[in-house]
Amino acid sequence: MKKYLFITLIILLLLPSFAFAQSQGSPDKKAERLQWFADARLGIFIHWGIYAVNGIDESWSFFNGYISHEDYMKQLDGFKAKRYDPDYWAALIKESGAKYAVLTSKHHDGVALWPTKCNELHLKKDLIKPFMKALRNEGLKAGLYFSLLDWSHPDYPNFTRKEKRYEDDSLRWNNFMEFNFCQLNEILDRYNPDLWWFDGDWEQSAEKWDAPLIRETILLKNPDAIINSRLQGYGDYATPEQGLPIKSPEDEYWELCMTMNDSWGYQHNDLNYKSPNQVIRIFVDCISMGGNLLLDIGPKADGTIPDEQVNILQELGRWTNKHSEAIYGTSAGIPHDYFYGPTALSADKKTLYLFLDGNPNGPLMVKGLKNKIKRIWIVGNGTKLNYDIKMKQSWSSTPGILYIDVPEEVLDPQVTVISILLDGEIDLY
């Protein structure tokens, strides 16, 4: 009898962890969880915080000693968010063609954008809640950025590049961890983000952050949540930053995060914006390598979004709206040996999309395609294109070269997209 009681007890104890492993452990479940993310292709990153007041580097400006911590914190008084319109933000993000957004709930400076009860360093108003609601009303996924490290917290070891609060003090570290979990749980309870974008993990090990427990806490509350990779190995997808990958990354899921100019937050002196054309072509490269683009905006301290940034989002919106079938739910294209440019494949692999950034001097050329072609047309415009196959020899298995005529009138001012419908799944020589 005792024996059975013991076994029952063991089962009861193991059940939650078993259920948890079931919920996220198997690769299939991960694929299911990440499906919306893989299909989304475009997200908008938002760095909004007190650093917009002076227009200086978020957190790094005091960490690197360009301004004292005290003076940095004076920006708290100037951060009024008087013209903050979360519904407009969400509508603009939707218009851009993005399917999700990620807002900085707390950067490395430790200033929470919500009235946290875990410490005193926060804004009075909850700036997060209305935005999460607005995103969800637009049918968009709502993500939050959270800095694991907190350079302002009295129990966090690092203060600035030159100054450390302590070297080794498990009591203080435990205090900090308690605080960190307090905020994490608050965010879970108040907003339950669809996506968690951690940052600042590099200063401590997975063990110190208790990364497995962070992951477990999130997924127990929301088994559908997605977690980025900056959790010392406990995330779901890779986050290359600023540098556009040259070749398809090895990771199955990835997202390039990128600024529009050279700053994450609003900096009035930084006018080094990429043109809409440059942004779209970088986006196209992400699509063709099977990844997402998380494009950053930095709203001003009053909550308005700078004109240059609105302009990029709107032009991106025109382009994504016109070419949606070649963007959402597609997968990485074919190697450049077959077509000298970015490409993508439809989910059923029966349509090949070619991205063309310019006016070709003659017909396009695709090599090594073994399929028969059913039809070729311009995406978002419908014009059927003439094509022809040259060099096909009856005695050779090498496919002929496909030439496609693209008349000048059908070119998009940014990037033209051509759709090739095949007789079956793509089959390359």
Q: Which residues here bind ligand GLC, judged by CB under 6 A?
A: 47, 58, 199, 241, 257, 264
> Any idea which residue has 């609060």 for tokens?
165
Assess contact for 363 and 404: CB atoms under 8 A.
yes
Kindly state the smallest distance separating residue 241's Cβ from ligand GLC, in Å: 5
Please give the backbone phi and psi of residue 5, each rounded to the nearest 5 degrees, phi first: -60, -45
The residue (of 102 and 344) whose beta carbon lies closer to ligand GLC is 102
Kindly state the smallest distance separating residue 153's Cβ from ligand GLC, in Å: 16
Burial of 409 (0-12, 13-18, 19+ CB in 10 A): exposed
Kindly state the smallest distance separating residue 100's Cβ from ligand GLC, in Å: 15
Assess contact for 296 and 309: CB atoms under 8 A.
no
Kindly state the smallest distance separating residue 43's Cβ from ligand GLC, in Å: 12
Kindly state the smallest distance separating residue 387's Cβ from ligand GLC, in Å: 43
The residue (of 194 and 296) whose beta carbon lies closer to ligand GLC is 296
Alpha helices in 222-322 (DSSP H): 276-288, 307-322
Assess contact for 194 and 224: CB atoms under 8 A.
yes
Distances (CA, A) of 181 to 145, 191, 197, 214: 15, 15, 15, 8
The residue (of 178 and 241) whose beta carbon lies closer to ligand GLC is 241
Q: Report the 10 Å Cβ neighbour count for 60.
A: 17
Kindly state the smallest distance separating residue 199's Cβ from ligand GLC, in Å: 5
The residue (of 138 and 199) whose beta carbon lies closer to ligand GLC is 199
For residue 24, give every residue at least 6 positions away whose Cβ sits within 8 Å of its Cβ, in sequence order, or none.
30, 33, 219, 223
Kindly state the smallest distance separating residue 290's Cβ from ligand GLC, in Å: 20
Assess contact for 148 and 209: CB atoms under 8 A.
yes
Burial of 281 (0-12, 13-18, 19+ CB in 10 A): middle
The residue (of 60 and 88) whose beta carbon lies closer to ligand GLC is 60
The residue (of 301 and 354) whose beta carbon lies closer to ligand GLC is 301
The residue (of 33 and 47) whose beta carbon lies closer to ligand GLC is 47
For residue 52, give every residue at least 6 positions away whose Cβ sits within 8 Å of its Cβ, in sequence order, or none.
79, 265, 266, 298, 299, 300, 301
Kindly state the smallest distance separating residue 264's Cβ from ligand GLC, in Å: 5
Residue nearest ligand GLC, CB atom distance: 257
The residue (of 253 and 264) whose beta carbon lies closer to ligand GLC is 264
Assess contact for 138 and 91: CB atoms under 8 A.
yes
